[in-house]
Structure 1
Amino acid sequence: MKLFYTPGACSLSPHIVACEAGIDIALCKVDLKTKQTESGGDYTEVNPKGSVPALQLEGGEILTEGPAIIQFLAEQKPEKSLAPEYGTLPHYRLLEWLNYITAEVHKSFVPLFWNGAEEEKERAKKILNQRFQFIEDHLSGDYLLGDDFSVADAYLFTVYNWCDRVGVDTGGWPKLKAFAERMAARPAVKKAMKDEGLI
């Protein structure tokens, strides 16, 4: 399998999950501004949406959208317990968190990354403060689903790390800070970040 990624972007999440699962994946860096792969190819021929991540499967099919990819990867190695068993309430709690991170957190960063007007940026920061405060208030264990790591944690860690880059103050979230430190210490996270040149 091949993961199309941009260093530190939301594609870091499936990269972490692949490392956690012990799945060997080839990496192909994408320049999101030019939509070119590191080999000079047109990335929109891989993913017409033009966004990362995209996962090229063994048969050549392309899977896009981070939450779908991380669930797919988790299901390739069920013995790693990276996602709760399908059909159980914890499985739907996982989906609940993935949807929240995607729709309410991830997308709220857009004005901060794509040169939004100053008024838009300030509004985005207020929204992100509310969204992360909600997560802070609901973290009751080491990870989103309690004491066990899941694929949702890889996604949360990825978007939380954007806060410093765009000027969102994280000082009021001690649980999230501790969560990020726990995540950063995981060998799979270290490997993915090293592979992407982030550490």
Structure 2
Amino acid sequence: MKLYYSPGACSLAPHIVAREAGIALELEQVNIKTKRTGHDADFWQINPKGSVPVLELDTGEVLTEGPAIMQYLADLKPECKLAPANGTLPRYRLQAWLGFINSEVHKSYSPLFQLSTPEGTRSERRAALHKHYALLERQLAVQPWLNGDDFSAADAYLFTVTNWASYVHLDISPYSAIVAFQQRVAERPHVQAAMDAEGLTHKPAA
């Protein structure tokens, strides 16, 4: 299988899940601005949505959207406990966390990366992120991982997007449980291997 990714983008989350599950992936970097891959292919032809991640299966089919890719990979190796069994309440809780991170946290960061975003919108998005992190802080203050005692796909996703905080000048230092969470994830050997492969540092956002 092949993962199309951009260093440090949301595609880092399925990359982490794959390494945590012991699944070997071929990696192909995508230039998000030019929409060309490392082999100079037209990325629009691979994913008409134009965004990473994309997982190309051995059959040649492609799967898009990070939460779907992470669950697909996790289900290939259920013994790794990266996603609870399908049809169980813990699985639906995992999907709820993935949905929250995707629609609320991830999308609140997106406008902050655009130079054209008005300051009023930036302030509103930062305020939204602080609200979201206050909720996440309460969850992580009482348990090590979002979905309980086991590191899951949701933790890989939260770690990935929270690493963007320093790039957009969002101060998360008041959230001690979040800061501790970022450090715990950053210290995981498979997370370090994924970040090394993407040319990233291990320093968590703060």
**Normalised TM-score (structure 2):** 0.95
Using the TM superposition, give the Cα deviation of residue 178 of structure 1 relative to its aligned residue in structure 2, in angstroms. Answer: 0.6
Using the TM superposition, give the Cα deviation of residue 39 of structure 1 relative to its aligned residue in structure 2, in angstroms. Answer: 1.6
The 2-side partners of 1:10 and 1:50 are apart by 13
Q: What residue is the counterpart of 1:85 in the other structure?
A: 85
Using the TM superposition, give the Cα deviation of residue 85 of structure 1 relative to its aligned residue in structure 2, in angstroms. Answer: 1.2
Q: Counterpart of 1:123 in structure 2: which amino acid? A: E
Q: Counterpart of 1:65 in structure 2: which amino acid? A: E
| Equivalent position to 2:187, from 174, 185, 198 | 185
Residue correspondence of structure 1 range 107-146 to structure 2 within 5 A: 107-115=107-115, 116-139=117-140, 140-146=142-148
Question: 2:159 aligned with 1:157, yes or no?
Answer: yes
Q: Counterpart of 2:29 in structure 1: which amino acid? A: K
Q: What residue is the counterpart of 1:10 in the other structure?
A: 10
The 2-side partners of 1:89 and 1:77 are apart by 19
8 Å contact kept, 1:111–1:117: no
Q: What residue is the counterpart of 1:45 in the other structure?
A: 45
Q: What residue is the counterpart of 1:36 in the other structure?
A: 36
Q: What residue is the counterpart of 1:197 in the other structure?
A: 199
Using the TM superposition, give the Cα deviation of residue 75 of structure 1 relative to its aligned residue in structure 2, in angstroms. Answer: 0.5
Using the TM superposition, give the Cα deviation of residue 166 of structure 1 relative to its aligned residue in structure 2, in angstroms. Answer: 0.4
Q: What residue is the counterpart of 1:169 in the other structure?
A: 171
Give the number of aligned pairs: 199
Residue aligned with 2:7, SS: coil
Residue correspondence of structure 1 range 60-71 to structure 2 within 5 A: 60-71=60-71
Residue aligned with 1:27, SS: strand
**Normalised TM-score (structure 1):** 0.98
Using the TM superposition, give the Cα deviation of residue 24 of structure 1 relative to its aligned residue in structure 2, in angstroms. Answer: 0.4
The 2-side partners of 1:138 and 1:76 are apart by 28
Identical-pair percentage: 53
Query: Structure 2 stretches of 5 or more lacking a match?
Result: 202-206
The 2-side partners of 1:73 and 1:158 are apart by 17
The 2-side partners of 1:29 and 1:43 are apart by 10
Off by >2 Å, runs of 4+ in structure 1? none
The 1-side partners of 2:82 and 2:123 are apart by 36
Query: Structure 1 stretches of 5 or more lacking a match?
Result: none
The 2-side partners of 1:165 and 1:147 are apart by 30
The 1-side partners of 2:66 and 2:55 are apart by 9
